[in-house]
Structure 1
Amino acid sequence: MINSVYYEQYELGAERHTGGRTITETDIIMHAGQTGDFYPHHMDAEWCKTQPFGQRMAHGTLIFSVAVGMTAGVINPEAFSYGYERMRFIKPVFIGDTIRVKVTIKEKRDHPKRTAEGIVSELCEVLNQRDEVVLVCEHLLLVRKNGEAVQPV
């Protein structure tokens, strides 16, 4: 879905919510293979039984990647991802947990050098099936101002 939204149209406090996505053992195995992160917390079920959580947990980077994908359902041709800040892994996600994402417009500010764009900060909260926050970060968007020509990089 394509939806043009200019900087001025973003409203502080506005929220959007994704549907849910269940994290599977296959997700964890595939992510380990793609990243090379075979840490026993993710891969060794027997070892994990001896640890405080008692079971394997998903990679934080897997949960971040899945959450980013879950929020990318609407294409805004006036905005580009400018990066992520303040990411924290709050609680573990286990095989069989279902996550969803709540996105809230947190802040808008002028870009320090680019007058045709502003920066919009989205607070992304990843929640599990018990409504516990498992990951939090801020997604920065570089968004064109209405009627402004985009400046070359």
Structure 2
Amino acid sequence: MISGAFEDIRVGEKKITEPRTITESYVNDFAMLTMDTHPLHLDPDYAAKTRFGRRIAHGALMISTLLGLVELDPRYMQCFYSLDEVRFLAPTYFGDTVYASSEIVDVQTRSDGKTALVSCRGSLVNQSGTEVLSGLFTFLVAGHSHAINTSVE
């Protein structure tokens, strides 16, 4: 999503990431980290009685997975600004493999001229080509003159 200074980012740029398989341990680790232990994610017997028929990954985990898969260059990406229009379109089951797809939809230079708000339409897509999550992600992005040097000396 954010691969450089805002001056170099163009509306219409599209990227697709490498895939990630959603495992039971990945979901369990997220449940313990967040304390979200809803049985839909952790209890096979409970989940079998739901509309999904089996356990599914947390929606928040899928948002985090999307953000983890995309490029967010630390020299320029200053912070996560907003998340809008989030839709969970299909469940993500254990064993599903997902990838992120993103497109830059807006770059708004701020009045200081040092940063811009960069908005991206992001999606998470499973191995069958089903879009499981979509949203509009906006980031505060630095320009060339305000990059953070990330080299270790």
Bin for the TM-score computed over the shorter chain: 0.7 to 0.9
Distance 1:65 1:79 in 2: 16
Q: Output the amino acid matched with 2:32.
A: G
- C-alpha displacement of 1:115: 2.9
Pairing 1:86-101 to 2, within 5 Å after superposition: 86=84, 87-101=86-100
Q: 1:110 to 1:56 in 2, by over 3 A?
A: same
Distance 2:18 2:128 in 1: 14
Alpha carbons 1:121, 1:138 under 8 Å: kept: yes
In structure 2, stretches of 5+ residues that fail to align are 149-153
Question: Stretches of 4+ moved more than 6 A in 1?
Answer: none
- C-alpha displacement of 1:37: 0.9
1:42 and 2:41 are equivalent in the alignment:
yes
Distance 2:65 2:75 in 1: 22
Alpha carbons 2:104, 2:121 under 8 Å: kept: yes
Aligned length: 146
Provide the alpha-carbon RMSD of the alignment. Answer: 2.3
Q: Output the amino acid matched with 1:71.
A: V
- C-alpha displacement of 1:62: 1.1
**Paired residue secondary structure (2:95):** coil
Equivalent residue in structure 2 for 1:128, among 102, 119, 126:
126
Alpha carbons 2:5, 2:147 under 8 Å: kept: no
Distance 1:107 1:61 in 2: 24
- C-alpha displacement of 1:50: 1.5
1:21 and 2:20 are equivalent in the alignment:
yes
Alpha carbons 1:78, 1:143 under 8 Å: kept: yes
Q: Output the amino acid matched with 1:130.
A: S
In structure 1, stretches of 5+ residues that fail to align are none
- Kindly, what percent of the aligned residue pairs are identical? 27
> Deviations for 1:33-90, whole angstroms, at most 9, x for unmatched residues?
1111111111111121122110000001111112211113x62513323323112222
- C-alpha displacement of 1:131: 1.2
- C-alpha displacement of 1:9: 1.6
Residue of structure 2 equivalent to 1:57: 56
Q: 1:41 to 1:149 in 2, by over 3 A?
A: closer
Distance 2:142 2:50 in 1: 49
Distance 1:140 1:4 in 2: 14
Q: Output the amino acid matched with 2:140.
A: L
Distance 1:140 1:50 in 2: 37
Alpha carbons 1:17, 1:102 under 8 Å: kept: yes
- C-alpha displacement of 1:25: 0.6
